[in-house]
Amino acid sequence: MNMDLKDKQKTPLHKTFSFAICGIIHGFKAEKNFKIHAAAAIMAISISFLLRISLMEWLFVILSIFGVVSLELVNSAIERVVDLAAPGYHPLAKQAKDLAAGAVLVYSIMSVIIACVIFIPKFAHLIINFI
């Protein structure tokens, strides 16, 4: 599948979107962590609706979800390229994979912190009003 620049320029826009959607579907089907992030996203969205968060809070939730999912896809792509370039063990290949996974972890931790900042006070308010 060797494409030069002219071939890429001839690719219809709808096809490029199709390729991207295939990548997302493959990520969901093949990557365990992608499924975990998708489940966490569904949970965060559900809680956000239940707690009726503000527009600004929604923006942070959306940025967190899409950031983690995007990084997970990039991490998976890096893993594939590294496996292709270095089929056997190589310390630099391990470092590349570890760095990409670390990026997902850092963003995921930030997303959990954002969730705590948004949701804990709202849950506390519910509990106090319930008691």
Cα 19 to Cα 25: distance, rounded to the nearest angstrom: 10
Of the candidates 34, 69, 72, 100, the residue annotated as catalytic is 72
Cα 33 to Cα 54: distance, rounded to the nearest angstrom: 29
Residue 98 in marked binding region: yes
Cα 17 to Cα 53: distance, rounded to the nearest angstrom: 32
Residue 35 in marked binding region: no
Residue 7 in marked binding region: no
Residue carrying structure tokens 């949970």:
43
Residue carrying structure tokens 């060797």:
2
Residue 57 in marked binding region: no
Note if 72 is an active site residue: yes
Q: Which long-range contacts (CB under 8 A, 24 or more apart) does 39-46 make?
A: 40/68, 41/65, 41/68, 41/69, 44/115
Which residues are documented as binding site for substrate?
Answer: 72
Q: Among all residues, which ones are annotated catalytic? A: 72
Q: Which residues are annotated as a binding site for ATP?
A: 31, 79, 97-98
Q: Residue ranges for the binding site?
A: 31, 72, 79, 97-98
Binding residues for a divalent metal cation: 31, 79
